[in-house]
Every structure is written in C-alpha cells, then in structure tokens.
Amino acid sequence: MYPQPRQDYVSISFAGQRSGNYNNSKQWRRQSCWRKWKQLSRLQRSLILFIFVLLFICGIVSYPAVTAHLRGPVEREQDTDSSVVQRPVIPHVLPEPVVMGQPLLPEQPSQRKLSNRRGPPILQNRLLKKGNTSDTMVKDKAAARKNGREEEGVISWHGAVIDTEQVTEDTVDTEDLRRNKEVLSKESEAIWLEAVREAFRHAWKGYKDFAWGHDELRPISKSYSEWFGLGLTLIDALDTMWILGLKDEFEEAKAWVATELTFNKNVDVNLFETTIRILGGLLSTYHLTGDTMFLDKAKDIGSRLMPAFNTPSKIPFSDVNIGKGTAHPPRWTSDSTVAEVTSIQLEFRELSRLTQQPQYEAVVAEVMKQVHKLDGKLDGLVPMFINTNNGQFTHQGIYTLGARADSYYEYLLKQWIQGGKKENQLLEDYLQAIEGVKKNLLQKSSPNGLTFVGELSHGQFSPKMDHLVCFLPGTLALGAHNGLPADHMDLAKKLMETCYQMYVQMETGLSPEIVHFNMHQGSTRDIDVKLADRHNLLRPETAESLFYLYRFTKDHKYQAWGWEILQNFNKYTKVSSGGYTSINNVCDPDYPSPRDKMESFFLGETLKYLYLLFSDDPNLISLDQYVFNTEAHPLPIWPSTV
C-alpha cells in the first residue's frame, strides 16, 4: 500500500477582505501605522514630535556652516573679493563688460515685477557708502551671492550669460596685472563703442527705410513727419556718422545733401531750431571733413535766415520764410523766447569767420549786447520771454534753467571759450548767473539730500526741474576746466548725481521730462512725477553732462551710468523694424506707451555724446580745440590772434 499523498501548501483566509488574495495596498499600511500611533500614550506621542522638531531646527542652524565648509576656502574668498571679472560666454549676445578697477555695469532684475521701485534702495546704498563705485557694486554682488540670489551661469537682465573668475593681486605679478587691466579696458571700450554704433545703425535703418529725406521718423507707423521739410534728421546726424566712423552711411547722406537738399522753398522755419540743427550741423561737418560743399550749403541757409533780424528792436523774430525772405513772430504773440534769441551766436559768429562777412556776427552780437543791459534780471538770471518790438523782457518774475531760458547760460560760457576767452562781458554775465542759481534756485531734496535746481515764480520757489536742466553739470565742468572756480566742479558732480537719479528712480530706468523734488521732512522718496510729465523724448542732456564729467575726471562711474541709460533705451524705446521711439510713461515698464516719434537730436546728440563718453581718446573732439553748440555740433575754438 502506498501512503496517502501529503499536501504541501496551507490555505489561509483573512476576514474582511473582498477576495482571498493578500492585499499589500498603501491604504492598508497607512491604517496599520495609524493604529500603532494611536496605541501610543499622549506623552509618548508628544515626546516623538518634540524630538522631530528639535532635529529640524538644529539642521537649519547648522546648514550654512556645513555648506561653507564643503565649498572650501577658495569660494569663501571669492565671496568677499572685489576684483571679480565677468566675461560673457555667449559671443553673439551683447555682453556686460566689467573691468578690474572700473565699475561693474549696472545690474537690474530680469523681471521688473519683482521690484517696481528702482530708486530709493539704490540711492541710499550709494549715499551711505560714498566709496569707490566699483568697490561698492562688487561688494553688493558678493553679498547677493552669499544670500543665494546669484549663481554661476545666471542670465542677467541684459541677456548675457556670465560666469565669474577670481583675479587677485596676490596671485598676479603687478606688471602683469597692469597690462591685464589695460587689455580689459580696451576690450570694454571697444564693446561699448560698438554698442553705440549698432544703436545708430538701427536708428538709421528705420530712417532710411521709412523717412529718407524727410525731417523725422515715425518708427511705429513706419512713416515720417515733416517740420521744415529739410531732411532734419539726416543733416543733424552727419557729424555723428563721421565721428562714429560710419563711412558708408555718411557717404549716402552726403550724396543726398549734394543732390537733393535745397533751401529755395516757400516754407516757414524756426530761426533757433534751424540755426542749431542745420546751420550748426553743416558747419561742423565742413570742419570735420574739409568738404566745401557743406560750407556752401551753410552759407546758403545762413543768408536766408538773416531777415529774422529785421525788427524794430534788433531782437529777431522766431520764424523765417526761407523762400520768400520774410520773417514774423508766432501768430499768438510778438515775443520771442530768451533762450532762442541768445543761442544762435556760436553758429553765426563762425559763419562770419569762415566767409569773412561780418554781418552774421554783428546781428547776433547786438542781441547779446541788449540782453546784457536789460532790467528785469535777478542776480544774473533772466526771464523767459523778450518782446521783438521794444526789446524788453516780458512775463517778468519767472526764472528757470529749463525750457525757454536754458541755453542762454550755456552760450554765455561757450561764446567766451569760442572767442579765446577775451570777451569779458560774456564771462561776467555767466559768473553772475551761476551765483544767482546758487542763491535763488539751488535746494536739496528729502530724505536723501539730492542737490537740484528749481524754479522761482514771483518770489515763490518751486521744486520743479526739467530734464533740460541736466545740461548744467556739463557746462559747469567745462567752465571749471577753463579756469573758473573749483566749486563749479563740485556743484557739477552733485547735480550729475541728481540727473542720474532722475533715471535710476524710474521703473524703466529712463528719466521723465519733468520731476518734482520732495523737500518736506518725512518724505519717503526724493522724486515725484506728475502724470503729464512722464514722457521721455530720447533727450541728450544727461548723456552730454556724463561725457563732460568723464572727460575731465576720468571717473569710470560716469561711463557705467551712461551704459545703463543706453541699455534702457534699447529695452524700452527700440523698435524692431528700425528706429527708436519716444515714450509716454517711464513709470510703466510693462507698457511704456510709445509715442511714434524719433527726434532728430537722438542721432545728432544723444548717441554722439554716449559714443564720446565711452571713448578714452581725449583727442576725439578735443575740448581744448572744439566747443559744442547746443545741438552737439562741434565748432572750432578760434586760434589766438595775439
């Protein structure tokens, strides 16, 4: 008999299961763990929770020390090093050049929504530290890295991917370091200059494609607008192209001037604007190139402007018909603005010198002679309007260095320089006016004490400052360079800081047309901007003064400020199809509201001054040989006849 077969498995059933198979689901396991947790006493549960919390807190406290130890001594030294050099690793993206011994380029967040208020924190940092700009900015970047806000390979707001490399004087021979600095400086200069050339080419492309031969480009609508019908932008930009070395663009513009430009037109033009933009532009281009065609054109337009001076008072009318040879005041008044009639002298004086025809200089000299002896001034400050019939100031009691008066003060100094520093009456009027500014118009803002130039209206001070006033730092610096009191340079530097803050405290990094400064104790920010004043017209005055301050001081922070301004023009005003546009709202980075107009002075002045600012060649339009008119056209300082 064989034994009965033995079963070699055991069957087990679990109650409560919906099938006979073992269920290892997460839900079942969670229920089991929860039962075990509930079986513990309240004291046991509290003790376990306390231990977990304690371990978590200890981990947080010890984390920085552990990570610093793991990074090692090299990275800790890099965090505090002030000689960090940044280099772009994407060659086709415009980099941010940073040179040892020079300031780091301005840095902004890649998303402005993270911080809509640009200015006050930056300003407080700058005013508190008062040290070398480059040291301050490097330390700020090192602190940012410590806090985890900056890592290697981060895309900056300019769009360049950057990394960091430590270079210290401890590890580099002093002579090698000096040579490295020189090489890096030249590389940075080349990058900055090419950036301005590229901006000009882009602006010129829009003008050439959509507005060729017309006055101004409308880049949004890809069209043009006419003011005088004389190719205003093209003539204004001639000497800029020559200075920037854009020879192809210059030659095509020169061909248009030679074959297409004619002043034999039945059209009214503004005496002041035509003088500074067209006459000044042609004279400047003649001096730079030696081409007499430009001088012939200058003679033509100069002679056609002369009827403006046929007035009872010898104070010129504002408007001239260059085809008919007639002139008249505006339809609504018999007044001319003081700035306009006193800011045409450089150009007419130079035209007389070149043509040996004294009538041009004579008519503008008569204007200055009459304004010099007029009543109605306040400590050398002049009202804004003058009557063409009786030659007297009108609307008296209002004094400003902004619109309608600004370039009067500029041309007092520049005529004195142009003529070889011999015309003492001009110098006396200038020095008296600067003292008048200090006495009546100079104040400081709250809370950070920015020095600014306000306005006076019938004895009442207004903390209003036009962007136009930002010509003043450069003019003061030019005077100090030519032997005027040293405190003029001190004031120039303070006002330069203020003009820069008019940019940096705006959400787009671009200055509005007009600002109002807070003067009340307890103010939280220095600058307020009214709704109607938030536009930016691509104006040049701040770039102009930055150029003068850098040329005379060699302080690289002025180049860094100019670079930041150029980048913000590129970010908020550049039109993809060509050209740049003025904008309506510098306080809204999401929609700055383009105005669809590129003023001729953007090419004639703004980009020219930025290019000269970025150049380290003091002989590129030497300020000992040339004086700039108020439209940035360089005219020669007359040789001494002694």
Q: Is 206 helix (H, G, I), strand (E, B) or coil?
A: helix
Any residues with CB less than 8 A from the CB of 331 and at least 6 apart, and which? none
Task: Determine the Cα–Cα distance for residues 239 and 278; give it in Å rounded to an integer.
Answer: 11
Taking a C-beta distance cutoff of 8 angstroms, is the pair 598, 581 a contact?
A: yes
Task: Determine the Cα–Cα distance for residues 401 and 407; give it in Å rounded to an integer.
Answer: 8
Alpha helix stretches (DSSP H) within 374-524: 406-418, 424-440, 472-481, 487-504
Catalytic site residue 513? yes
259 marked among binding-site residues: no
Nearest to 481 by CA among 371, 369, 623, 360: 623
Query: Which residue of the set 239, 347, 455, 541 is catalytic?
Result: 541
Name the percent of the chain in helix, strand, coil, to the closest 5: 50, 10, 40
Q: Is 87 helix (H, G, I), strand (E, B) or coil?
A: strand
Taking a C-beta distance cutoff of 8 angstroms, is the pair 156, 163 a contact?
A: no
Catalytic site residue 406? yes
Query: Which residue of the set 335, 406, 466, 507 is catalytic?
Result: 406
Strand-pair partners of 580: 574
C-alpha torsion angle, residues 160, 162, 99, 580 (rounded to 10) = 10
DSSP class per residue in 2-60: PPPPPP-------TT-SSSS----HHHHHHHHHHHHHHS-HHHHHHHHHHHHHHHHHHH
Query: Which residue of the set 79, 252, 273, 366 is catalytic?
Result: 273
Q: What's the first-to-final CA gap in the chain, in angstroms?
A: 149
Tokens standing for residue 505 = 């405290």
What own/partner pairs with CB < 8 Å and gap ≥ 24 does 103-106 have?
103/133, 103/134, 103/137, 103/556, 103/557, 103/559, 103/560, 104/134, 104/137, 104/138, 104/141, 104/560, 105/158, 105/560, 105/563, 105/564, 106/560, 106/561, 106/563, 106/564, 106/567
Task: Determine the Cα–Cα distance for residues 357 and 351; give it in Å rounded to an integer.
Answer: 8
Distances (CA, A) of 479 to 35, 89, 409, 485: 89, 44, 12, 8
Tokens standing for residue 442 = 């100079």
Taking a C-beta distance cutoff of 8 angstroms, is the pair 324, 257 a contact?
A: no
Query: Which residue of the set 340, 513, 526, 605 is catalytic?
Result: 513
Q: Is 229 helix (H, G, I), strand (E, B) or coil?
A: coil
Could you list the residues known to form a binding site for Ca(2+), using ranges.
630
Could you list the residues known to form a binding site, using ranges.
630
Catalytic residues: 273, 406, 513, 541
